[in-house]
Structures are given as C-alpha cells and as structure tokens.
Amino acid sequence: MAKIKTSKLSAGQRTVFLCHGTGCVSNEAFAIRKAFEKSIERLQLTDIKVDFTGCHGFCEQGPIVFVQPEGIFYAHVSLDDVEEIVYSHFRDNKPLERLMYKDPSSSEIVPYFKDINFYKKQRHIVLRNCGRINPERIEDYIATDGYQALQKVLFSMTPHQVIDEVKISGLRGRGGAGFPTATKWQFCHDAPSDKKYLICNADEGDPGAFMDRSMMEGDPHSVIEGMAIAAYATGATEGYIYIRAEYPLAVNRTKFAIKEAEERGFLGKNILGSDFSLKIHIKEGAGAFVCGEETALIASIEGRRGMPSSRPPFPTQSGLWGKPTNINNVKTLATVPLIILHGGKSYSQTGTEKNRGTSIFALTGKINCMGLVEVPMGTKLADIIFDIGGGIPNGKKLKAVQTGGPSGGCLPANMINLPVEYEAFANAGSIMGSGGMVVMDEDTCMVDVARFFISFTQSESCGKCVPCRLGTKQMLNILENICQGRGNITDIDLLQNLAQSIKVSSLCGLGQTAPNPVLTTLSYFRDEYEEHINDRRCRAAVCTGLVTYSIIAEKCPGCGLCIRECPVQAVTSSGKKKPVILDQSKCTKCGACFNICRLGAIAVK
C-alpha cells in the first residue's frame, strides 16, 4: 500500500494571498498579484511570499488580499493600493487601516478575517479549503489531509462499507432535490453492468448561484477525491465533470487538478497501487439550463440536444450510453472525503434530524454582505440575512427572500424564521435548489420577479413537452401583460390554473418547478398582482408600463445630464439653471434619466 507523502503548509511564513476567484479576477486580481511580487522583490522583502487562493466567497469585497499568519483581511484592493500595502504593512509593519474591511452596519473597521461577521457566523465544512489553499497546487490539498479518505477507502473499506458510512452521515444530494446520497449510490452499485459511469454535475445554471463555481475554482481536489470515492463505491470506472463553459477559470483549474491527481496516482489506472481505476473527463456545457437535469445532462454528454427523458428508467439503471450512471452535485462530492475521514457520525452531528450537515447559499440581491455562505442545516433564514448578510442596505425594508432560483419560490419577510431544511422550504412552496438566495427589498416588484423567472424558464425550456413549452409561454404572456398594465383580473385565476397543471404534467424538473415563483408570489403577494391589474400601479416602480417619471423642479438645477442621456429627446431644457422639462407623451420610461441623475431630481411613481 502506497503512502501519500504529506507536506505541511508552510506555516509561519508570511504570505500575501490574493483571492483568485472569478469575482476578484474580474477586478484585476492577476495584475495585483504581479504588482505585489514586483514590489516585494524591489524592496527585497525576501521572507514574504506571494501566493493565491480560490474564492473566499466574499466576492463583493474583492479584490481581496489576505495576509497570513496574522490573518489580516484587505478589501477592495486596487492596483494603486499595492505599493502602499507593501510599504506600510510589510516594510513598516503597520497594517493599512484604510483598506481593511468595514462592517456595513457598525461602520467599524475589522482588521482580522476571523472577526468579520460575514465569516464568523458561518460554519465552513464543504468550503473548508476555499480561500485557504492554492487550488493549483496539489500539495496544499494533501497538506490538509487531502486524499487520505481515498486511501482509507481503497485499502480498508468495501464499497458496502463506504455506502454505509455515507448512509450514517445522512448526506442528501446538494443539487437541490435532497435525495439521500447513499441510496442513490446503492442503486447504482446494485445495477448489474459491465460498465458504470459517474458524473459530477457542475452545471450550475441557476441564475444567482455560484457555489459550484467557487468550489471548482477554490478546491477542485476535494471534488475529485469525492468522485474517486463515489466511483469506488458504485463501481464506476469512468467519470465526467460536466461544467459550464461560462466558468472558464473553474474549467481550467479543474483540468489542471485532474492532471495533477493523475500524476500523483490519485486518478487513472490502479489508483495508489490498488486494482481500482478511474478516468475522469471534463465536458463543458454549452449553455442550456435544462442540462442541470440528470437525463438532459446525459443527453448532452452523449452529443445530443439536452432534452430530458422520462424516468424511470433512472440514470442509476440506464444512464450514460445506457449504462448505470451515478450523478452527484459538486458539493455532495466535496463533502464525501470528510465523511470518510471523520466518520458519518461526526458529520451527522451538524444540522438537524432529517437534514444533516451544512448548506451553502449564494447570498445576493439587496443585502449588505453578498457572497457565499455555509451554515449548518436548520439555521434560520433571519440569521443568514441579518447576522451574516448584515441586513438590507440603505435602510430599506426586507420584502422577500427568493431561494432555489427559477425553480424556487419567494418567501415573504414574515417567514424569515423558517429553518434551512428541505422539507420546510418545500412546505412553504419553495425549494433549497442549488442554493441561490436572493434578498429583495421594497424596491423589488414581486410581479416583475415572477415575470423575470418565467421569462428565464420559458427561454430555457427545451420544448419537448407541451406543458412546459406552451405553458410557460402562456404564463409569460399573461405576466407581461400585467406588468405593462394590460392585465385583467381573470388573469390571476388563469395563471394559478396554468401553474398548477404545468407543475403536475411537465416531463422534467424544469417544468415541474417552473411555476414555483408564480405560485409563491401569487400566494404571498397577491395584493401586488391585484394592484397592477386594478389600480395600474407598481408600488416598487419597476414595471415600466406602470411607471411615470417626473421632474422634481425644486431639486433640478438644469444641469442637462439627463437631456443628453434621454434616447428619445423627451427631456428638454427650459433655460439655464432652470429645471428641465419631461414630455410624458415622448417618454418611453426607460429610466435613463433617473439613473443618471445624481441629485434625486427625478421622481418615479
């Protein structure tokens, strides 16, 4: 039996870690790292290392610079700040207050990572390595007990024992539906076949979710190790990671990680000298939300249109190329090594009776602290929004929380004591889904939100089955009418009925859940629908058809910014330093003037 060479992370050495997740990279994190390297070299600060990590999850604060071992956290670092940090922090040993994180509610400066509320109240199990290790260096992963679980499985456990351990952990599929992972593995294990496949579903298509992306960018090896263990347990010898092409960074890191793992003998033929072999391929999704559905995903890997097929047969019986296929989500797989290493029992300590472990949310929308949030199952929504997320910005009021993306629902503010549990969410008409959590304040129109989601599912419907193809189109037409002030009060019943039948009779999960945003808004925010229809009014002033823009004369100095911005010349000058005039008959309600005005001189109703 081969022994994994472990190395400890170079503890003690002072290191500047640049966050190299998509968010920070889009803000020039690569260039900032180069600048740090240059600057440190110039000052000959030889004891200081520059390195990078995957996503920290607090993308909104990016580019993030994290200094170890002291644990200082710098936010919003720009290229111009690099010199200052290097001089002040490293040469003069004076951490730079100006760039430290400021708590949005207290406005206090929080120098240390560990004290930041956003992180403090989280529980990082799956995200254990994200932001802490270099994802492009397998040694870093190995140093955090990486691939120990695989070794344990290969040399001291039978596939049955592995499945049993996962069963004890109570792990449920993190892709959204929450199907018990061990049961799925068991099905696949029991299906007789000469060949079996394993697919890691990283086709994170939910608009508003990005945890799979962060996992693949920040800790690809934990997913790969999880895949190897799952493959061993189910009898698969070939695996695919189906990942969105929209995530180029994640694709590249994963490719690199597979290569590294193969070189180290964690993948490929006779892994670690055992008689178990696994080859992993990467397939890039080509832009179809429906491919997150298991049977559609399989069709896509097979080179066909990503159209779902009826189940049964389930993929565990007849999946890829007609062979038994086990499909697990990224987070599910990343959890597996931990369960094996520390025991299912230990994992099951976190969470609640039926919902073990943690759950990850992409917390976004009208909230102070946006980012990835990992919390124990059972945590209340309110804790996530207010304690971790720091509440709603600009003193606005919370209106709703949308979870589960286009398949989920909108929960009203009065339900924020709901615990994070599959069943609790389902009973409320929503789902956990892949973990998008969009916070909405009073400036959000709930009818518009419903329209937005239906427009999304409608454009992503594959078209195979009638209810989804034509039903979502009907719903979208009705919602657009309502939003444009052409609604009829009978539309509400029509919507309700359509939504119900689409839910029951659609072929796949996309169609079956597509009505959820409509159904939840209809049941929790029915008054807003009625207002749109009866009063022709959008209280959040979002629906352009129902909105009027007007000039608040006393605030307008006639600067003319809006005149230049208006695409239809509806705004005209009435003389120097005099308020501008808005011609309502020309106004297309595009909102350009409203957005450009810095003086709040344009009113919207």
Cβ at position 356, least distance to other proteins in Å: 24
Cβ at position 564, least distance to other proteins in Å: 10
Burial of 137 (0-12, 13-18, 19+ CB in 10 A): middle
* Six-digit token string for 104: 């949005």
Among 106-114, 134-142, 151-159, 468-476, which window interacts with other proteins (CB under 8 A)?
468-476
Region for residue 445 given its phi and psi (left: phi exceeds 0; alpha: psi -120 to 50; beta: otherwise): beta
Among 52-60, 98-106, 182-190, 570-578, which window interacts with other proteins (CB under 8 A)?
52-60
Burial of 154 (0-12, 13-18, 19+ CB in 10 A): buried
Find residue 106's DSSP bridge partners: none
Which positions from 308 through 347 interact with other proteins, judged by CB under 8 A?
A: 309-310, 312, 321
- For residues 505 to 534, the per-residue mask of contacts with other proteins, x marking binding by CB under 8 A and - elsewhere, is xxx---------------------------
- 132, 172, 213, 264: which one binds other proteins (CB under 8 A): 213
Asked if 208 is part of the footprint of other proteins (rule: CB under 8 A), the reply reads yes
Which positions from 270 through 289 interact with other proteins, judged by CB under 8 A?
A: 283-289
Asked if 202 is part of the footprint of other proteins (rule: CB under 8 A), the reply reads no
Which positions from 19 through 48 interact with other proteins, judged by CB under 8 A?
A: 22-23, 25-27
Cβ at position 238, least distance to other proteins in Å: 11
Give the integer Cα–Cα distance in Å for 596 and 261: 52
User: Which contiguous run of DSSP H or E holds residue 8?
Assistant: none
Do the beta carbons of residue 458 and residue 476 sit within 8 Å? yes
Cβ at position 231, least distance to other proteins in Å: 19
Which positions from 427 through 466 interact with other proteins, judged by CB under 8 A?
A: 436, 438, 440, 444, 449, 452-453, 456, 458-466
Cβ at position 302, least distance to other proteins in Å: 6
- 15, 234, 350, 402: which one binds other proteins (CB under 8 A): 402
CA nearest neighbour of 42 among 95, 86, 74, 96 = 86
Region for residue 558 given its phi and psi (left: phi exceeds 0; alpha: psi -120 to 50; beta: otherwise): left
CB closer to other proteins, 87 vs 187: 187
CB closer to other proteins, 289 vs 347: 289
Among 93-101, 218-226, 364-372, 418-426, which window interacts with other proteins (CB under 8 A)?
364-372
Please give the full DSSP string across 258-306, using - where no structure is assigned: HHHHHHTTSSBSSGGGSS--BEEEEEEE-S-GGGGSHHHHHHHHTTS--
How many C-beta atoms lie closer than 10 Å to residue 274's C-beta?
A: 16
Region for residue 574 given its phi and psi (left: phi exceeds 0; alpha: psi -120 to 50; beta: otherwise): alpha
Cβ at position 444, least distance to other proteins in Å: 5
Please give the full DSSP string across 396-424, using - where no structure is assigned: PPEEEEEESGGGSEEEEGGGTT-BS-HHH
* Six-digit token string for 119: 């992180």
Do the beta carbons of residue 375 and residue 192 sit within 8 Å? no
CB closer to other proteins, 312 vs 395: 312
Among 132-140, 189-197, 240-248, 331-339, which window interacts with other proteins (CB under 8 A)?
240-248
- 12, 192, 303, 575: which one binds other proteins (CB under 8 A): 303
What residue ranges in 421-494 does DSSP mark as E strands? Answer: 436-441
Do the beta carbons of residue 226 and residue 267 sit within 8 Å? no
* Phi, psi (deg, nearest 5) at residue 70: -70, -20
Give the integer Cα–Cα distance in Å for 274 and 151: 9
Give the integer Cα–Cα distance in Å for 59 and 54: 11
Among 41-49, 56-64, 115-123, 259-267, which window interacts with other proteins (CB under 8 A)?
56-64
Cβ at position 507, least distance to other proteins in Å: 6
Among 78-86, 158-166, 498-506, 518-526, which window interacts with other proteins (CB under 8 A)?
498-506
CB closer to other proteins, 220 vs 467: 467
Which positions from 120 through 159 interact with other proteins, judged by CB under 8 A?
A: none
CB closer to other proteins, 272 vs 475: 475
The per-residue b/e assignment along 369-381, b for 16 or more CB within 10 angstroms, e otherwise, is bbbbbbbbbbbeb
Asked if 498 is part of the footprint of other proteins (rule: CB under 8 A), the reply reads yes
Cβ at position 332, least distance to other proteins in Å: 18
Asked if 562 is part of the footprint of other proteins (rule: CB under 8 A), the reply reads no
- 371, 376, 378, 412: which one binds other proteins (CB under 8 A): 371
Do the beta carbons of residue 61 and residue 101 sit within 8 Å? yes
How many C-beta atoms lie closer than 10 Å to residue 545's C-beta?
A: 16
Give the integer Cα–Cα distance in Å for 391 and 386: 4
CB closer to other proteins, 129 vs 506: 506
> What does the chain come to in residues?
605
Asked if 245 is part of the footprint of other proteins (rule: CB under 8 A), the reply reads yes
Do the beta carbons of residue 410 and residue 440 sit within 8 Å? yes
Cβ at position 271, least distance to other proteins in Å: 24
Asked if 543 is part of the footprint of other proteins (rule: CB under 8 A), the reply reads no
Asked if 596 is part of the footprint of other proteins (rule: CB under 8 A), the reply reads yes
Cβ at position 432, least distance to other proteins in Å: 15
- 60, 164, 262, 480: which one binds other proteins (CB under 8 A): 60
Long-range contacts of 25-29 (CB under 8 A, 24+ apart): 25/249, 27/62, 27/63, 27/78, 28/63, 28/78, 28/79, 29/62, 29/63
- 180, 268, 579, 591: which one binds other proteins (CB under 8 A): 591
Which positions from 61 through 120 interact with other proteins, judged by CB under 8 A?
A: 62
- 477, 534, 572, 584: which one binds other proteins (CB under 8 A): 477
The crossing angle, in degrees rounded to 10, of helices 330-342 and 159-169 is 100
Binding-site size, other proteins (CB under 8 A)? 91
Eight-state DSSP code of residue 370: -
